[in-house]
Amino acid sequence: MTPSTLLLATMLVPLAGALLIPMFSARPNIRDAVSVITATVLFVIVCALYQQADSPASLVLAEPLSGLQIAFSVNYFGVLFALIASSLWIVTTLYAIGYMRAHHERNQTRFYTLFAIAIACVMAIAFAENLLTLFLFYEILTVGTYPLVAHAGTSEARAGARKYLLILMGSSIAFFLPAIIIVYLQAGTLSFSEAGVMAGNMESIYIAPLMLLFLLGISKAGIMPLHRWLPSAMVAPTPVSALLHAVAVVKAGVFTLLKVVLFIMGPDVIAQAINSQYLLLLPMATIILASLVAMTRDNLKERLAYSTISQLSYIVLGALMVNQAALVGATLHIAMHAFAKITLFFAAGAILVATHKTRVSELNGLAKSMPVTFMCFAIGAMSIIGIPFFGGMWSKWYLVSGAAAFEGATWLGWALSITLMLSTLLNIWYLLTIPVNAWFKTAPANEPASGEAPLPCLIAMIIPCVICIYLFFQPDIFLQLAHTIVGGDNT
């Protein structure tokens, strides 16, 4: 197949899945099989696209405004993001089959349908040729995932979903849209291009304010103070939290930010703008504050949500440091964090399904009855912390060397290094204590022994775990992609 056919297929396959799934709503086995098959087919297609990622294939859907197209093109960064999302979609579907049935969730068909639509949006975001197309699907992703957050239909779920929608859509209209229009007015184009489109089109003093608009507008990246939607979204069923709010939606946010830094603003332009280095304070504050908040949270999923917020800001931090190593680190962290964080969410869901426990303080001694789950949790946590033998180490490595090579103010360089150091310590504290307590503390006496979660959940949990370890020894797939993506410019 030609690359442009493949490109179209990445979006049409999940959409076709979304059409087929409701047809089998009365027969759950076939419906779930359709989900798994769609996910697998999509993964194969993305792999095929990976082989041909250097082709200049593109696809124009419409031209609503003169000179501004709804268009898609093959690009390395998109392939990287699509690879992560599509591979984890298979795993999540597998997991969801076990979880949704064991948990007796209602409206499962609606769940799987919207899931497929969300993935189609993610593919469209990954392969968007310009900022307008990206913005279009960014918004559709928000609207499409809203019912997944409100899935339970309880007043708590609705309140959470309302906050989700209002913050995500409100900030994108209030900040992201004007930022896009400013870019268009100044540069006359919105197409992603090597080294950005802003060079020579805008006075250097205005670069930082514009970048700030992007930072605030792309609130899917979870930068404080517009991060509140993510903990709110944790009312959703665990597979949603796992794929959408640890991988697809939040990664769409940081992906968009990296796209903006690399291909709209241009790393050189940002590096030369004298005041832009102070933007680093925003992700730095988010990293530390989110970690501190995470420590105070007893609800496991909420703690993981704050950990996600903190980890996302690593990526933003890497993007804003704009040197070679930091950008590679940021790109790599998208992948590494995805595999590790989804393991953690799967484990949290498994604990919920098997024991109906949601609080960290209730987990003491639980590892005796759920050894696999807590093993996986420990591996995921260590990968996020960045300990050797786990994939997360490489992205931390590049981020820290990026901080060391930082060319701005000296005090800021120090602050960067200290932030990264401190947050690693905090990570150890709030993530690793969970499995440690589960293994080594004794359970309350009157605790009934519970078994492991259903088998599909366990399998789904082990796969990303193994990938975490594999990526330490073989980070080449993502590392090469990251170098290719960033390599175009010589910062």
Note the residues at the interface with other proteins (CB under 8 A).
61-62, 64-66, 70, 132, 135-136, 139-140, 143, 150, 153, 158, 161-162, 165-166, 169-170, 173-174, 177-178, 181-182, 184-185
Min separation Cβ 166 and other proteins, Å: 7
Cβ proximity to other proteins: between 210 and 300 the closer is 210
Min separation Cβ 203 and other proteins, Å: 14
Min separation Cβ 176 and other proteins, Å: 10
Min separation Cβ 28 and other proteins, Å: 21
Min separation Cβ 142 and other proteins, Å: 9
Min separation Cβ 266 and other proteins, Å: 21
Min separation Cβ 115 and other proteins, Å: 18
Min separation Cβ 136 and other proteins, Å: 4
Cβ proximity to other proteins: between 134 and 399 the closer is 134
Q: Which two tokens stand for residue 417?
A: 């290094």
Cβ proximity to other proteins: between 47 and 177 the closer is 177
Residue 364: left if φ>0, alpha if ψ -120 to 50, beta else—which one?
beta
Cβ proximity to other proteins: between 207 and 481 the closer is 207
Cβ proximity to other proteins: between 40 and 107 the closer is 107
Cβ proximity to other proteins: between 135 and 345 the closer is 135
Cβ proximity to other proteins: between 168 and 420 the closer is 168
Min separation Cβ 228 and other proteins, Å: 15
Cβ proximity to other proteins: between 10 and 69 the closer is 69
Cβ proximity to other proteins: between 62 and 455 the closer is 62
Q: How far apart are the first and last CA of the chain?
A: 37
